[in-house]
Amino acid sequence: MNPNANYTPAQSAHAKQALSLVAALQNRFVQGLESMADDLDLSQSFKAVSWLRDEGKHGGGTRYETADGAMIGRGSVNVSQVHYDDNPDKKLGSATAISTIIHPNNPLSPSVHIHISWTEMKSGEGYWRLMADLNPSNNNIEDKQQYLDALQQAAPAQFKSAVQQGDTYFYIPVLKRHRGIAHFYLEAYNTGSFEADLAFAQKTGEAAIDTYVTILKESLAQNIPASESEKAKQLAYHSLYFFQVLTLDRGTTTGLLVHNQNDVGIMGSLPTYVDRDLLQSWVNQMPEPQDKLLQALVDVLPQTSPALVDEKVKQKLAQVVRNHYQQHPQAIAMQASGNIIPPTVKNHN
């Protein structure tokens, strides 16, 4: 896997090391999932899809995506790097990331979201963002403990703060609940030693990936058929996930505001189907102007039950989010945050 095959990568030594790391994590995760599918005799493969920032001049990326397989309904393992090496007016040097979401078909198997990124200014200063969260539709306390134990072992000194920030970030105020059951989030992480922080990001990323693959394999190996009630819970949960990503997730919003050259990739975290009526029922609970945002999102969904979120719908949803925050820039302050709010859009502008 060569995520920088079609674009010019950043020239900074630290950005090159960060790209090598996230590409290795991407390779580890995709191969782990494909190997598991083979072991369990399930049909599932990933397809490489590339995108370019300004025709590759300012970077780009490759995502490995999968859908409608025997194991995974929707999955994306995306690596990207954007940079402004040729633009002296930009304070931002480069941003390098892996961002991945896996939504299994089986309602008894949890979804997972993992994000690891390195942001570097042209001054040489930079910071890491590390996120890993387990998102089941049917809560399994053993899975939660297994995932958190692995992250605590990988990050013993940082674990308490990461869980606290994760629980804050992934809380949904209007619904009075969290998106998932296990949340790990470190923002603007920098100890002053790039090499030490690079090794820490690698160790944390590998723990998040390997533990999820183990949890998913153990779940699927039991081959327990899901009940209609559990399937209904999964659809409701996928609707909740859709709601959180498109109305609260700061990373998704800032990605859409920075450029429009990877909208489908940025929307790779969305599940295949959502409950349009359930989403509609939450509109009146939203504060202004976010009620308008949610209504506009619902309006572009197919009027079916359940509603399919395909590529065309993703593109429409991306434009809805972009238009909303261009019209209501103050509403960005209403989005999720941990202890630190990163100036991502400002960095790019």
CA–CA dist 225, 322 (Å, integer): 40
pLDDT tier at 286 (50, 70, 90 boundaries)? Answer: very high
pLDDT at 340 over 80: no
What pTM was computed for the model? 0.94
pLDDT > 70: percent of the chain: 95
**For the chain, domain boundaries:** 13-226
Closest by CA to 308, choosing from 276, 342, 341, is: 276
Position 345 scores a pLDDT of: 56
Pick the range with the lowest mean pLDDT from 113-117, 121-125, 279-283. 121-125
In 162-279 the beta strands, taken as DSSP E runs, fall at 171-172, 177-178, 182-189, 273-274
Question: Do the beta carbons of residue 66 and residue 44 sit within 8 Å?
Answer: yes
Rounded CA-CA distance 156/114 in Å is 18
259's tokens: 């450029």
Fold of the domain built from segment(s) 13-226: oxygen-dependent coproporphyrinogen oxidase (3.40.1500)
Determine the Cα–Cα distance for residues 92 and 90; give it in Å rounded to an integer: 5
Does the pLDDT value for residue 7 go beyond 60?
Answer: yes
Q: Is the pLDDT of residue 4 over 50?
A: no
Question: pLDDT-based confidence at 3, cuts 50/70/90?
Answer: very low
